[in-house]
C-alpha cells in the first residue's frame, strides 16, 4: 500500500501519471452506463440493488471502461452509505459488506482485464487503478443538495465527519489504490474530509474533486480557490480537481486551482447537460456531443490537467475518444528508471517504492 506521510500521496499520484506516459485517464459515468445496460436507478438505494443483485453488471461496466482506455475505475459506492442502507433495513454488518463489495467488484474487474490481455499476449504496460468513491452528504439525501451544498441544520463540520467516518474506514480497508472524494459542493465538507483523513490515519492517496455551475465558485457559492487551498494543505491528498461540471467551465477552473496548489490536477466533467434537482433527472439536449467534449482535451492538457476523464452522461465511447486524443496529442514520458512493465500481479509494478 502506498504511504501518504510527508507528501507521499502527491508523489504516488505523480509516479502513476509518469508511468502512464504523462496523463492518467479516468473512467466515465458509471451510473449512466449501468442505466443504459438495464439497471433501475430511480431508487435512492440503487447502488445497494446493483451490488446485491447485479454485481456482474457493475463488473461489466468497469471492464467496458478499461477496454476503452481508462487507467482508473471508480467504484459503485458514490451514493452508498451505511446510514442509507440501515434506513432500509440492512444491518450495520450488511451495510459495511456492501461498501466492501463495491471495491471488490472493481478489483475483480481489473484482475480479469489484466488476465485477458496476458492470455492474448498483449500485456498492459500502464497503471490500472481502483478509486473508492465517496459522494457528499447531499448524494445520500438524494434531494439535489449535492448540486447546491445547502444542508440546512445538518451543515456542521462535526456532523459531516460523523456521517462519513465509518464509511471512509470501511472503503479504505477494502484495499483500493485511491480514495475519491467526489462532487464536493462546499468548503465545509472539504474541511471535514481532510480532518477525517488525518484522524483516521488513512494511508491511501486520495483526491478531492469539487463541482461548479458558474466556472468560478463551487456550487454552494464558496470560493473554489479556498476549497482547493484546503486540499493543498493536506499531505494525504494527492490530487485536486473538478468533476460533474460542464466542459465549458473547466479551463478557467483549472487556472484557478493552479493558483493555490502544485498537486496534480484532475478533471472529469459531465456531458454539459443540466440536472433538474426537483425532477431528479438530466435535461436532455442541453449537453455536448462526444466530439465536442473531446475537443476540449488538448486545451485541458495545456492548462496542466494530469488526470482526465468523464462524469455523468459520458460513456465508454467518450473515454475511448479521450484516450485516443491523449495518445495523439500529449507528450509521452520515459518510464522511471528501474521500473518493471509487468502489471499482471499489481497495478503498482510500474512504480518505484514510495519512501
Q: What's the confidence (pLDDT) of residue 329?
A: 62
Is residue 246 a part of any domain in this protein? Answer: yes
What is the number of structural domains in the chain? 1
Which has the higher per-residue pLDDT, 295 or 352?
Answer: 295
Q: What is the pLDDT of residues 1-13, one digit of tens each?
A: 444 555 799 999 9
Q: Residue 15 carries which DSSP code?
A: H
Please give the Cα distance from 246 to 250 (Å, whole number). Answer: 7
CATH number at residue 255: 3.20.20.330
pLDDT tens, residue by residue, 231-267 = 999 999 999 999 999 999 999 999 999 999 999 999 9
Specify if 53 maps to a domain. Answer: yes
pLDDT tens per residue across span 277-302: 555 565 554 445 566 788 899 999 99
Residue 353 located in a structural domain: no
In a domain, 178, yes or no: yes
Phi, psi of 126 (to 5 degrees): -145, 160
Q: What residues form DSSP beta bridges with 130?
A: 73
> 10 Å Cβ neighbour count for 203?
15
Residue 152 lies in a domain: yes
Q: Which three cell numbers mark 32?
A: 449512466
Handedness of CA 299, 305, 306, 309 (dihedral sign): negative
**301-350 confidence digits (pLDDT tens):** 999 999 999 998 799 999 999 999 998 865 443 333 223 323 333 344 33
Q: Is residue 339 part of a domain?
A: no
Tell me, yes or no, whether 319 lies in a domain.
yes
Range of the domain at 166: 8-331
pLDDT tens for residues 139-189?
999 888 888 999 988 889 999 999 999 999 999 999 999 999 999 999 999
Is 330 part of any known ligand binding site? Answer: no
C-alpha cell at 289: 456531443
* 244 known ligand binder: yes
| Grid cell listed for 151 | 444542508
311 annotated to bind ligand:
yes
How does pLDDT run across 26-54, given as a tens digit for each residue? 999 999 999 999 998 887 778 888 999 99
The 10s digit of each residue's pLDDT in 75-91 is 999 999 999 999 989 99
Amino acid at each position: 500500500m502506498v504511504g501518504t506521510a510527508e507528501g507521499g500521496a502527491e508523489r504516488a499520484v505523480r509516479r502513476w501519471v509518469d508511468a502512464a506516459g504523462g496523463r492518467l485517464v479516468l473512467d466515465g459515468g458509471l451510473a449512466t452506463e449501468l442505466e443504459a445496460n438495464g439497471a433501475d436507478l430511480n431508487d435512492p438505494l440503487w447502488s445497494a440493488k446493483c451490488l446485491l443483485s447485479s454485481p456482474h453488471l457493475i463488473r461489466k461496466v468497469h471492464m467496458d471502461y478499461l477496454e476503452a482506455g481508462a487507467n482508473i475505475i471508480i467504484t459503485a459506492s458514490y451514493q452508498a452509505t451505511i446510514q442509507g442502507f440501515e434506513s432500509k433495513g440492512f444491518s450495520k454488518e450488511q451495510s459495511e459488506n456492501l461498501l466492501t463489495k463495491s471495491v471488490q467488484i472493481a478489483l475483480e474487474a481489473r484482475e480479469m482485464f489484466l488476465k485477458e490481455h496476458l492470455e492474448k499476449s498483449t500485456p498492459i504496460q500502464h497503471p490500472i487503478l481502483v478509486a473508492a468513491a465517496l459522494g457528499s452528504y447531499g448524494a445520500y439525501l438524494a434531494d439535489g443538495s449535492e448540486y447546491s451544498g445547502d444542508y440546512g441544520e445538518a451543515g456542521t463540520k462535526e456532523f459531516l465527519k460523523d456521517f462519513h467516518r465509518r464509511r471512509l474506514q470501511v472503503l479504505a480497508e477494502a484495499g483500493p489504490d485511491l480514495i475519491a472524494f467526489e462532487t464536493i459542493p462546499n468548503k465545509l465538507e472539504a474541511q471535514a474530509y481532510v480532518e477525517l483523513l488525518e484522524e483516521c490515519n488513512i494511508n491511501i492517496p486520495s483526491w478531492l474533486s469539487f463541482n461548479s455551475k458558474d466556472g468560478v465558485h463551487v456550487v454552494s457559492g464558496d470560493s473554489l480557490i479556498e476549497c482547493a487551498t484546503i486540499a493543498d494543505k493536506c499531505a494525504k491528498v494527492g490530487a485536486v480537481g473538478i468533476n460533474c461540471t460542464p466542459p465549458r467551465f473547466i479551463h478557467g477552473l483549472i487556472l484557478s486551482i493552479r493558483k493555490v496548489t502544485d498537486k496534480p490536477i484532475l478533471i472529469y466533467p459531465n456531458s454539459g447537460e443540466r440536472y433538474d434537482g426537483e425532477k431528479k433527472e438530466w435535461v436532455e439536449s442541453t449537453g455536448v456531443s462526444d466530439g465536442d467534449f473531446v475537443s476540449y482535451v488538448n486545451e485541458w492538457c495545456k492548462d496542466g490537467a494530469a488526470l482526465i476523464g468523464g462524469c455523468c452522461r459520458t460513456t465508454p465511447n467518450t473515454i475511448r475518444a479521450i484516450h485516443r486524443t491523449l495518445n495523439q496529442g500529449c507528450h509521452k514520458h520515459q518510464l522511471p528508471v528501474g521500473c518493471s512493465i509487468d502489471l499482471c500481479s499489481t497495478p503498482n509494478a510500474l512504480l518505484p517504492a514510495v519512501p
